[in-house]
Structure 1
Amino acid sequence: MHVQIVLFDGFDPLDVIAPFEVLHAGGAASRGAVSVELVSAEGPREVVGGTGGLALRATAALDPARADVVLVPGAAGPVGEPGEEPAAGADASIPVLLGRTLSTGLPALLGAAMDDPATTVATVCGGSLVLALAGLVEGRPVTTHHLGLDLLDATGGRAVRARVVDDGDLVSGAGVTSGLDLALHLLEREIGPRVAHAVEELFAYERRGTVWRDAGAVPVAF
């Protein structure tokens, strides 16, 4: 399983680093069955995150044809409103940072990944809003940070209040620390529970919540 984690200007570092570490450890625990790299739509470059100017280096271009999983993080910054440009000297808000991805080559590349049933697109936190703003999750069950659920609904997704939502070739995580849960779920689903459990044990972390799938009996309202 080869995973490409996407970097874009203003990304949330925790959305990237948590799944990267889990998946990298999964590769070590599975004798190389998992590989992971940091990519950007523009190719190899240093990309500055939205928290304290932390920069990570994309070592390759996002190429859905080479990836089994494309993972999209959210952004980090002040909570604001879509289209609300920052005052001079102020940090851009999360909706603005996410919206700026629409003017890059990222939406077309993510669209290609979504069109390929052999590629799984995964998101952490506001990463699902990047897809939603690009019109790529119309009618599909998906989650994001709880502050973005209304925007997810407004942009065509079926917002689900769950820690991880598995809709086959679209797997999404909620708030920032859900990147750990999402990556462990991908390890379990694609490589097996023993490898996922070994990584959990290594990181002294236990997954939270039930992975939501659109299956089974429909619960009655409480």
Structure 2
Amino acid sequence: MLAQIVLFDGFDPLDALGPYEVLFAGGLFTDGDLKVELVTAEGPRDVPSGTPPLSVRATARLSPERADLIVVPGAAGRIDAPDDSELAQRVDSIAHHLERALASELPGLLRDAVERPDTTVATVCAGSLMLAVTGLITGRHATTHHTWNRDGLARLAEHGVTPVEARVVDDGDLVSASGVVSGVDLGLHLLERFHGPRVARAAEKLLGHDRQGLVWRAEGPEPHTV
């Protein structure tokens, strides 16, 4: 199994490296059956994060035809004011980083990934909004960080996505996590889904982390209002 973690200029380091470390640990506990790569739309390069001067080296190109799992992080930077404000145009703002990523080859590659029946796409924080604004997850259930750039969940709804206020949302071949640190919980959930609870628990113990919150799915009866 191959997992690819997408990097782009201005990415949030923990959004990407939290799932990376969990999945890397999964590779250890599966005797190499799970492999994980850091990738970009352009190929191998040093990628500046949104928390300078930190950069991370991507070793391969995003390849939907090769990957079984693709994880899309959000961006880091100044918390954005409304889209038409001067702040949103700053080169160190989250909105600017996402706008640059969406102007690259990345959306086309993500479209290929979403359309492949055997590929699972996962997101952390504003990664789900990148998919939403490009129309790739219309009609799906997803979550995102709820505070940045107005209300993140409302922005998902504006783009035809059904927002869910949960730490991790599993909508089949689309799995999303809410904000930053929840990417670790996302990674553990994915590890359990693909390789079982024993492997996931082994990674959880190795990392010294206990998962938080339920994984939301569109299953079971609707709860009564209380």
Instruction: Give yes or no for the alignment of 1:160 onto 2:164.
Output: yes
Taking the TM superposition and a 5 Å limit, the aligned residue runs for 1:9-28 are 9-28=9-28
The structure 2 residue matched to 1:215, chosen from 215, 219, 223, is: 219
Residue in 2 that maps onto 1:78: 78
Q: Structure 1: how far apart are the matches of 2:88 and 2:174?
A: 36
Residue in 2 that maps onto 1:93: 93
Instruction: Give yes or no for the alignment of 1:32 onto 2:32.
Output: yes
Cα separation, partners in 2 of 1:121 and 1:84, compared to 1, 3 Å: farther
Q: Structure 2: how far apart are the matches of 1:42 and 1:200?
A: 33
Pairwise CA RMSD of aligned residues?
Answer: 1.5
Q: How far off its partner does 1:155 sit? A: 1.7
Taking the TM superposition and a 5 Å limit, the aligned residue runs for 1:191-210 are 191-210=195-214
Q: How far off its partner does 1:69 sit? A: 0.3
1:23-62 superposed Cα distances (whole Å, 9 cap, x missing partner): 0011001111211000000111111010123101111110
1:69-106 superposed Cα distances (whole Å, 9 cap, x missing partner): 01000000111133545599x55321222122221110
SS at match of 1:122: strand
Residue in 1 that maps onto 2:59: 59
Structure 1 gaps, min length 5: none
Cα separation, partners in 2 of 1:193 and 1:150, compared to 1, 3 Å: same
Cα separation, partners in 2 of 1:33 and 1:85, compared to 1, 3 Å: farther
Instruction: Give yes or no for the alignment of 1:135 onto 2:139.
Output: no
Residue in 2 that maps onto 1:48: 48
SS at match of 1:132: helix
The structure 2 residue matched to 1:173, chosen from 155, 173, 177, is: 177
Q: Aligned letter for 2:163?
A: A
Q: Structure 2: how far apart are the matches of 1:43 and 1:56?
A: 13
Residue in 1 that maps onto 2:188: 184
Structure 2 gaps, min length 5: none
Q: Structure 2: how far apart are the matches of 1:86 and 1:55?
A: 24
Q: Structure 1: how far apart are the matches of 2:157 and 2:194?
A: 29
SS at match of 2:169: strand
Residue in 2 that maps onto 1:103: 103
Contact 1:83 1:96 in 2 (8 A): no
Moved more, 210-219 or 147-156: 147-156
Residue in 1 that maps onto 2:144: 144
Q: Structure 2: how far apart are the matches of 1:16 and 1:67?
A: 16
Q: Structure 1: how far apart are the matches of 2:17 and 2:84?
A: 28
Q: Aligned letter for 1:195?
A: V
Alignment: residue pair count: 221
Q: Aligned letter for 2:194?
A: E
